[in-house]
A and B are shown apart, each in its own frame.
Chain A
Amino acid sequence: DIVMTQSPDSLAVSLGERATINCKSSQNVLNSSNNKNYLAWYQQKPGQPPKLLICWASTRESGVPDRFSGSGSGTDFTLTISSLQAEDVALYYCHQYYSTPHSFGQGTKLEI
């Protein structure tokens, strides 16, 4: 089974500054046949379900602000918020869908 490990567990960033969240998978999630990384990022605000931000490691969902970006390949991935806004305070999770059982990282709490 693939284990997803995020770092840090929590992060405090000033408004307008960059926030970086890391996610490491215990096995490769890059499919060499289509060159796609089977990795997504979600944002969860209190009392709400998660919201898909980025899939295939770097493809931003429609409507997601361009300050959110995803990068990485293979086993190491990063979610970057280029200029933190107050509404970005949330929990962030990575998710591998390369193989079953699927798995999520433990979450990173982002605060101002």
Chain B
Amino acid sequence: QVQLVESGGGVVQPGRSLRLSCAASGFTFSNYGMHWVRQAPGKGLEWVGVLWYDGTNKYYADFVKGRFIISRDNSKNKLYLQVNSLRADDTAVYYCAKSRVRGVAGPIDYWGQGTLVTVSS
């Protein structure tokens, strides 16, 4: 069965950086696009970005403004999200999520349990 397990969250001071990881199993990781979606406490879902199956194309939400970088290592079945210059409003649960297709034009069919990032001094 498909499993997505995020790690790397925690409490971080404003302006600092974190790298979130997502370990994937139960499917051929290199065949699918992968997303990051976040959810602030008590708020709705917010799409962060997506990376094509082979890492050649990536797209981000407007609010990212160059602060976040999505990458993947298909040899390790892992997805990453580098988050830089963190702000208080980046506090959220960050979900790793699998696309049904290789690129971006498909639904998200599986989600991890999420990792909580808290930005606070």
Contact = CB atoms under 8 A, between A and B. Distances in A.
A49 B111 contact: yes
B88 interface: no
Q: Mostly helix, strand, loop or mixed at chain B's interface?
A: strand
A84 interface: no
Given A103-B47, A104-B45, A107-B44, A97 B107 contact: yes
Given A101-B59, A101-B62, A95 B104 contact: no
B23 to A, nearest CB: 15
B104 A100 contact: yes
Interface string B6-45: 0000000000000000000000000000010100000011
Nearest to A49: B111
Chain A, interface size category, equals: 20 to 34
Contacts of B50: 100, 102
B111 A50 contact: yes
B45 A101 contact: no
17 contacts: A40-B107, A40-B108, A49-B95, A49-B113, A49-B114, A52-B107, A52-B109, A61-B109, A93-B44, A95-B45, A95-B47, A97-B105, A100-B104, A101-B60, A101-B61, A105-B44, A106-B44
A61 B109 CA distance: 9
Interface of A: 1, 38, 40, 42, 44, 49-52, 55-56, 61, 91, 93, 95, 97-98, 100-107
B89 to A, nearest CB: 16
A98 B107 contact: no
B55 interface: no
A101 B45 CA distance: 13
